[in-house]
Amino acid sequence: MRTVLTGVLGGLLVVVGVVLLVLPGPGWLVIIAGLALLARRFAWAHGLLARTRERLPRRIVESRPASLALPPPESADDDDPAVPAA
């Protein structure tokens, strides 16, 4: 009974997470939560969770829009009035 309940609840979380990838919401977070729940009972879910955790940070960085990228540091060599003269 517990295995069935874990499978149904974990599967539901994964499906809701996939839907939240296209709707506003924490899609990847819900998918990882569902996989973590499934990984408690199923070996295949444990492997999938490990691969997802490994690849997710790289995909987040690659998909970040250029407008959210950090600007290059400004040099203090210029005659900037905000920098006091020594």
Identify whether 50 is part of a domain: yes
pLDDT at 16: 92
Identify whether 56 is part of a domain: yes
Number of domains in the chain: 1
Residue type (1 letter), 8: V
More confident call, 25 vs 18: 18
| Owning domain of residue 45 | 2-62
Could you tell me which residues come within 8 angstroms of residue 9 by beta carbon, excluding any fewer than 6 positions away? 34, 37
Identify whether 14 is part of a domain: yes
Identify whether 17 is part of a domain: yes
Q: Tens digit of pLDDT for each residue in 42-85?
A: 888 888 888 877 777 666 555 555 555 555 555 555 555 555 55
Identify whether 11 is part of a domain: yes
